[in-house]
Amino acid sequence: MRDKRLEVTDAIERLERQADQHRADLAHLEATMRLFDPNVEAETFQPTPPRRRNDWFRPGECRRRIHEVLRDAAGPMTTREIVEGVMAEKKLPEDDARTRELIQKTVLGSLNRATDTIERVEAAGSAAWRVI
């Protein structure tokens, strides 16, 4: 019990030192911000929440699967066609509307972030995608 108490006490002290260091870093950042804009109110900044990962894809997997589907295509594909291809590769149920909607949001987000390798084009009056 004594060893465990010492371990917890040490952890608390270490975390308090880290918190003190972070407070000092924050004060320095705010001072630097005031150099560039004396009227800045740093307290009004809201932290950016971390992006939530989904249960279907590991990090980077969705983009890889999108590239596989687009590479096999004869021409540009619509988002719906890409989603169908990705769902087929992952063997996800295509009849579940909610799953399809969530996968489509994930795929569309990946497509919009992949501007260096995937291009959005207009095809038959609608948006389509192709590998650059």
Kindly state whether residue 11 falls inside one of the protein's structural domains: yes
Give the per-residue pLDDT at 124.
74
Return d(Cα 8, Cα 131) in angstroms, integer: 53
Q: Which CATH number belongs to the domain containing residue 78 in this structure? A: 1.10.10.10
Backbone phi, psi, residue 3, to 5°:
-65, -40
Length of the chain: 132
Structural domains in the chain (count): 2
Burial zone of 119 (CB within 10 Å; 0-12 exposed, 13-18 middle, 19+ buried):
middle
Q: 113 lies in which domain range? A: 61-131
Q: Are residues 82 and 117 in the same domain?
A: yes
> In a structure prediction context, what are the per-residue pLDDT tens digits for the chain, which is 132 residues long?
899 999 999 999 999 999 999 999 999 999 999 999 988 888 888 888 887 777 889 888 999 999 999 998 888 999 999 999 999 999 988 888 988 999 999 999 999 999 899 999 987 778 899 998
pTM for the model: 0.60
Kindly state whether residue 50 falls inside one of the protein's structural domains: no
Could you tell me how far CA 61 lies from the centroid of its own chain? 12
Give the per-residue pLDDT at 85.
94
Kindly state whether residue 12 falls inside one of the protein's structural domains: yes
Identify the residue whose tokens are 């939530």: 52
Beta bridge partners of 120: 129
